Chains A and B, each alone.
Chain A
Amino acid sequence: NAGVTQTPKFQVLKTGQSMTLQCAQDMNHNSMYWYRQDPGMGLRLIYYSASEGTTDKGEVPNGYNVSRLNKREFSLRLESAAPSQTSVYFCASTTGGTGELFFGEGSRLTVL
């Protein structure tokens, strides 16, 4: 059982380049989330999708876009990367109930 799978695991970009982080879950979860984790800041919500076909902004959405491609997949796009977007990005999903989030292993992004 793969759970939540994120690709790529590592990426180095130059300022101004674009890229898409991919996330897929095989647990038939309705809700999916993108968080970023920075030292001393904890996990901060970028965007989320409560159900297929809907997306909403979280705490730190500026500079990002998302697409809920289908129930399994939720992608995060950086249109013009900035050094401030250097971070570890986590995708998560939940079926609801207790709200337990299941996380992927993270995507480490460095913007030079």
Chain B
Amino acid sequence: QKEVEQDPGPLSVPEGAIVSLNCTYSNSAFQYFMWYRQYSRKGPELLMYTYSSGNKEDGRFTAQVDKSSKYISLFIRDSQPSDSATYLCAMSWVDSSYKLIFGSGTRLLVRP
């Protein structure tokens, strides 16, 4: 069993839809939770960062962490074709030298 599980998709939605992306994990030591966005043939770039449990909102993006269920989510409101990319969840723990454990990524396609 992988430490971090993520549905690979692809997930295809119409423009303007609300998108929900999710990851589950098994290591209760994880304290830092991140979402990276990766466009085709590019390197990943940080989209959202959350420490421990709770919600964080940034514009159209909301990240949620439920440590009791070992489940994290990324919501995208009013999705745009420019949101079409692969979304990778990533996690880390205290004193990890910032080593991240990544999910396999969910490919999202937003149709105009």
Q: From residue B6, how far is it (CB to closest CB) to chain A in Å? A: 7
Inter-subunit contact B49/A105 (CB<8 Å): no
Please give me the residue from chain B that is nearest to A4 by CB atom.
B43
Q: Which residues of chain B are within 8 angstroms of A104 by Cβ–Cβ distance? A: 43
B73 within 8 Å of A (CB atoms): no
A41 within 8 Å of B (CB atoms): yes
Inter-subunit contact B43/A105 (CB<8 Å): yes
A90 within 8 Å of B (CB atoms): yes
Instruction: Assess A42 versus B88: contact at CB under 8 Å? Given A98-B32, A105-B43, A106-B43.
Output: yes
Q: Which residues of chain B are within 8 angstroms of A90 by Cβ–Cβ distance? A: 43-44
Q: Which of B4, B46, B100 has the most CB of A within 10 A?
A: B100
Inter-subunit contact B49/A98 (CB<8 Å): yes
Interface residues of B in 42-80 (CB under 8 A from A): 42-46, 49, 51
Can you name 16 extra interface pairs (CB under 8 A) apart from A90-B44, A101-B44?
Answer: A31-B97, A40-B8, A40-B104, A42-B104, A43-B44, A92-B43, A98-B32, A98-B51, A99-B92, A99-B96, A100-B49, A101-B46, A101-B100, A105-B41, A106-B41, A106-B42
CA distance A40 to B75 in the complex (A): 22
Chain B contacts to A: CB under 8 angstroms = 4, 6, 8, 32, 34, 41-46, 49, 51, 88, 90, 92, 96-100, 102-105
Chain A's interface size range is 20 to 34
Inter-subunit contact A42/B6 (CB<8 Å): yes
CA distance A58 to B101 in the complex (A): 10
From B41, B43, B100, B102, give the contact of A99 (CB < 8 A).
B100
A74 within 8 Å of B (CB atoms): no
Q: From residue B72, how far is it (CB to closest CB) to chain A in Å? A: 15
Inter-subunit contact A103/B43 (CB<8 Å): yes
